[in-house]
Amino acid sequence: EIESLGRLRHKNLVNLQGWCKHKNDLLLVYDYIPNGSLDSLLFSRSFVLDWDQRFRILKGVAVGLLYLHEEWEQVVIHRDVKSSNFLIDGDFNAHLGDFGLARLYSKTTFKDL
């Protein structure tokens, strides 16, 4: 599944740059996203998101989930969508990360469920 998830490329997903497995240890290398997680911005006392920033983030969340569910070659069910798993870049675009619980389904199998 790591190889499949490594092929995911979308502007609203955190891109997996590489990985290494040694015995039972797995190291994943992702893009650096400078503004941290959405939850840290939402609950920050020192920074308040304006409405344009909030809209841009919300749109990124929706577009990223649409890509996973309907537009990629397989159906990806993330299974852990929460504000701490969305990372926010310098332009306030949302990037979904942490695919540890994700499951992949073929489009035909998923339609039969």
Based on the number of CB atoms within 10 Å of its own CB, is 32 exposed (0-12), middle (13-18) or buried (19 or more)?
exposed
Average pLDDT over residues 59-88: 87
Output the pLDDT for position 105: 75
Average pLDDT over residues 79-88: 89
80 is catalytic: yes
Output the pLDDT for position 87: 95
pTM value surpassing 0.75:
yes
CB 84 within 8 A of CB 38: yes
Q: Per CATH, which fold does 2-112 belong to?
A: Transferase(Phosphotransferase); domain 1 (1.10.510)
Give the bridge partners for 105, in sequence order: 75
- Domain regions of the chain by residue span: 2-112
Active-site option among 31, 39, 50, 80:
80
Query: Whole-angstrom Cα distance, residue 60 to residue 76?
Result: 17
Average pLDDT over residues 54-58: 97
Interval 13-33: pLDDT, tens: 888 888 888 999 988 888 899
